[in-house]
Amino acid sequence: MTPIQVRDTDKFIYQSPAAVINARRILVKPNLGYPIGPPITVSMRVLGTVLQGLRSSSPDAEIFIVEGVCSPVALGEIAQRNGLYSLLDAGMELLDADQLPLREYPNLSPSPVRFATMLAPAILQEVDCRISVGAFKRTYINGNALISASLKNLYGLFPRSHYKARSPKSRGQLHRPSVPLVLQDVYFTIGHLFDGAVVDGNLKLVSADWKPDKGQTVNLGKVFYGEDLLAVDRVACEIGGESIPEYLNVIECLRAKIKKGLAHHQTLI
């Protein structure tokens, strides 16, 4: 696994993970859930650079940009307002995660928090490579800081029709018992499938409450990327002036436990 890369935004050139080379189908999951520009969503500059890097590494691949919104505004309208369509070539397609066929993904965690399986688009297992492109945010839920980067970005892949609570526009079921706990289930159902992560840290959002679409903007001028979502998010926090979220530590420990168990099983056979 390659080391995590940190680049000044104006010098960012995306180096694709090995899984992209000669891939036929690539999925990109950007944070584009709101009809507002960065740092609420990823910048078109960073996303465009990622798409250029993917295209350079795999000239003939189909590239699917997949997102599920968090607002009443439709994904196509958000893409139009943010300028996404100007970045797409003939082999790139924007897909609404809420309108895609679904399948159940098993939770590989040795200690599932809430979900033994989770519903997400079937296309995740129909592509050769998956990349998360997240914005960098700090919100507060019940007085506790919540860091959103490449892993939390995956919330947009889960169907609102299934995971809604009081509001049909959000995924309230994924906030119970808490987001940091449910992120364990997110990682071990679909997060582990991802081959790369990018965190747009040019600007960081710091919200005064739980709302991820309002707050103060902090200028960091950095982009973080690599093959491991957890490692990318950890470096983004270290350099971006945030405490390491406990959910990263817990997931890394569970992941190591799984790998140790697999290694022990292989020695037995």
DSSP state of 236: H
Calculate mean pLDDT across residues 134-142: 91
Question: Would you say residue 265 has pLDDT above 60?
Answer: no
What CATH number is attached to the domain comprising 190?
A: 3.40.50.11440
The pLDDT of residue 231: 97
Distance CA 173, CA 185 (A): 12
* Residue 263 banded pLDDT, cuts 50, 70, 90: low
What burial class does residue 193 get, using C-beta atoms within 10 Å of its C-beta: 0-12 exposed, 13-18 middle, 19+ buried?
Answer: middle
The pLDDT of residue 268: 42
Task: Locate 259 and state its tokens.
Answer: 């790998």
Give the Cβ contact number of residue 211 at 10 Å. Answer: 12
Distance CA 216, CA 185 (A): 30
Task: Locate 116 and state its tokens.
Answer: 């033994």
| pLDDT > 70 fraction of the chain, expressed in percent and rounded | 96
Distance set, CA 158 to CA 37, 214, 228 (Å):
22, 23, 21
Tell me, yes or no, if the pTM score tops 0.75: yes
Higher pLDDT, 174 or 1: 174
Question: Would you say residue 1 has pLDDT above 70?
Answer: no
Domain span including residue 246: 5-268
Cβ neighbors of 99 (< 8 A, separation 6 or more) are none
The pLDDT of residue 262: 61
Please give the tally of structural domains in the chain: 1
Calculate mean pLDDT across residues 53-77: 95
Calculate mean pLDDT across residues 25-37: 96
Distance CA 219, CA 8 (A): 12
Secondary structure (DSSP) of 20-68: GTT-SEEEEEE---SSS-TTTS--HHHHHHHHHHHHHH-TT-EEEEEE-
Question: Would you say residue 55 has pLDDT above 80?
Answer: yes
Alpha carbon of residue 156 to chain centroid: 8
Alpha carbon of residue 216 to chain centroid: 22
Three-class DSSP category at 5 = strand
The pLDDT of residue 264: 44
Alpha carbon of residue 6 to chain centroid: 17
